[in-house]
Structure 1
Amino acid sequence: MRKYFQLGAVFYYFVRVFKKKDPNAPDSFNLRMMHGINRISIIMFLICVIVMIVRAIMR
C-alpha cells in the first residue's frame, strides 16, 4: 500500500520541468511546447491553491 502513495516521481517531474534542458535529452518542437504548457499549468495550479487557502483562512 505504501508504494501507491509515494509521490517522489511526481515532485521530481515538477522540479525537472523548470530546470535547464538536459543536453542528452531528445529535442523537438512538440516536446518543447509540451513542457512549456506544463510549466504554465503547474504555475496556474499553484496560484489557484494559494488563492483557495487564502479564501479559506479569511472566512
Structure 2
Amino acid sequence: MSSSSIASIAKKAPTEAEADFATWLMMAKLGGFDDLPSSAQSFLTNYRTRPL
C-alpha cells in the first residue's frame, strides 16, 4: 500500500468512527439499544459508566 493510501485511510477512520458512535448513541437514546450490535452495546455501556 502506498503512503498516500495509508494517509487517506488514516484521515477517514476517525470521521467514520465518530459517525458510528453518534449513530449508536442516537439509537440508544431512541430506545433501540437492544437492536445495536453487541460490540456497540458493550462500548456504550462502558462509555456511560466511565469515571469522569
TM-score when scaled to structure 2? 0.50
Question: Aligned residue pairs: how many?
Answer: 31
User: Structure 1: which amino acid aligns with 2:12?
Assistant: I
CA drift at 1:49: 0.4
After superposition, what is the alpha-carbon deviation per residue over 1:16-47, rounded to whole angstroms, capped at 9, x for unaligned? xxxxxxxxxxx821111101111111110000
User: Structure 1: which amino acid aligns with 2:15?
Assistant: I
Structure 1, unpaired ranges of 5+: 1-26
Whole-Å separation in 1 of the counterparts to 2:19 and 2:27 = 12
Q: Identical aligned pairs, as a percentage?
A: 6
Q: Greater Rg, structure 1 or structure 2?
A: 1
Kindly indicate whether residue 7 of structure 2 is the aligned counterpart of residue 32 of structure 1: yes
CA drift at 1:51: 0.3
Cα RMSD (Å)? 2.0
Kindly indicate whether residue 31 of structure 2 is the aligned counterpart of residue 42 of structure 1: no
Structure 2, unpaired ranges of 5+: 33-52
Q: What's the counterpart of residue 36 of structure 2?
A: none
For CA contacts below 8 A with separation 6 or more, give which structure has more relative contact order: 1
* Structure with the bigger percentage of helix: 2
